[in-house]
Amino acid sequence: MTGQILIVDDEPAIRRLVRGAVERAGFGVAEAANAADALAAASRDGCELVLLDLGLPDRDGIELVPLIKAMNRAIIVLTVRDATVEKVAALDLGADDYVVKPFDTDELLARIRTALRHRIAGASASGLTSAGSITVDLLAHRVMRSGLEVRLTRKEFALLAELARFPGRVVTHTQLLRTIWGEAHITDVEYLRVTMRGLRLKLEDDPAVPVLLQNEPGIGYRLSAE
């Protein structure tokens, strides 16, 4: 947990404040104010996660996402509230998560921890993922709820499995549709909704107030570990 977090934002005030919060949580911090410096800093050994503001002076932050991803760092993008398109694009390009400005630093830290955990877990061979009272066994194709097996349809399982691959992180609608139904159906959000309903009915304590399978409006779904 002592990996380096790189903060990329052109506003010194933001950088200062985030640094404060992140350092308090026990992480090491580096800073960059523009895209060029960001790439240089991200490539240094020891950097594990990049907090990337998309509104950079010299280059569109979005462009950096695949570049930094290629360096095998976790990425959390900092965006403004209504930029749904931006968020989806960033996620599709490989960002792990996003945080909306103005954000709560606690929320930010929670996301940082989740992203790092996943990074460490990485290509975990066990294929087991837990979230709340649910355990997903990707290899054996089984889902357990409080120890009891739950029967899911094929599509329901595929959806759960995909979300379980990125626990705690948001997966875009497009990615889910593509993986589960194929390229031809990436605009058929209905399928997703219906299948998600089925999942919630079977896995949530109160399907009307889902805790496990959360939706990010306009973006995608997240398997929540809280």
Partner 1 sequence: MIESETKRPSPETLLKQARKEARGRLKIFLGAAPGVGKTFEMLREGADLLAQGKDVVVGIVETHGRADTEKLVAPLEVLPRIEIEHGPHKLTELDLDAMLARKPKIALIDEFAHSNAPGCRHPKRWQDIEELRDAGIDVLTTLNIQHVESLNDVVAGFTRVRVRETVPDAILDDAEIEIVDLPPDELIERLKAGKVYIPHEATRALGHFFSKSNLSALRELALRRAAQAVDLQMLDHVRIAGDAGNWAAGERIVVAVGDQPGGEALIRATKRLADSMRATWTAVTVETPRSATLGYEASGRIAASLKLASELGAALATIPAASVIEGLRAHILEAKATAVVIGKSRRSWWFELRHGSVVDQLVRGLEGVAVHVMPTSITAETGDDETRTSRPFNVSGTGIGLLLVSLTTAASLAVASVIGINSVDLLYLIPVIATATLYGLRPALIASVVAALAYNFFFLPPVHTFTISDPQNAITFMILTGVAVFASQLTGRLKREANIGARTATENAAIAAFGQRLAVVSDETGTAVTVCDEIAALLGVSTMLLARKDGAVEVIASQPPNPSLGPLDVAAADWAFERSETTGRDTGTLTASDWQFHPLATSLGVLAVLAVGRNERGTPIPPDKRILFTTLLGQAALAHERIRLESQARDIGALKQRDDLRATLLSSIGHDLKTPLTAVVAAANTLSAEHGESGTTRTLKAEARRLRRVFDDLVEMTRIEAEALVVRHDVLDLTDAVVAAGQDLKAELIAHKLVLDVPSTLPLVDADPRMLHHVLINLIGNAAKFAPAGTSITIEGRRSLDGLALAVLDNGPGLPSGGEAALFNRFTRVEGDDMTGGTGLGLAIVKGFADAMGLRVTASNRPEGEGSRFEIFWPASLLRKPSAGAPEA
Cβ proximity to partner 1: between 165 and 191 the closer is 191
23 binds partner 1 (CB under 8 A): no
Of the residues 84, 124, 130, 133, which one makes contact with partner 1 according to CB under 8 A: 84
Report residue 189 as tokens.
């959000």
List all residues 6 or more positions away from 178 whose beta carbon is below 8 Å from its beta carbon: 186
The span from the CA of 55 to the CA of 59, in Å, is: 8
Residue 205 engages partner 1 in binding (rule: CB under 8 A): no
Q: Kindly list the distances between the CA atom of residue 173 and the CA atoms of 70, 137, 154, in Å, as whole numbers in the listed order.
A: 23, 23, 18
- Strand positions, DSSP E, 12-62: 28-32, 47-53
Residues forming beta bridges with residue 74, ordered by sequence position:
49
Count of residues engaged in binding partner 1, rule: CB under 8 A: 42
Does 149 interact with partner 1 (rule: CB under 8 A)? no
Closest among 5, 6, 10, 98 to 58, alpha carbons compared: 10
- The encoded tokens of residue 60 equal 């569109």
Residues 33-52, one symbol each (x = binds partner 1 by CB under 8 A, - = not), give --------------------
Tell me which stretch binds partner 1 (CB under 8 A): 38-46, 88-96, 137-145, 193-201: 193-201
Asked if 141 touches partner 1 (CB under 8 A), the answer is: no
User: Phi, psi at residue 174, to the nearest 5°?
Assistant: -60, -45
Q: Which of residues 173-192 bind partner 1 (CB under 8 A)?
A: 181, 189-191
Note the residues at the interface with partner 1 (CB under 8 A): 11, 13-14, 17-18, 20-21, 24, 55, 80-82, 84, 101-106, 153-155, 181, 189-191, 193-197, 200-201, 207-210, 214-218
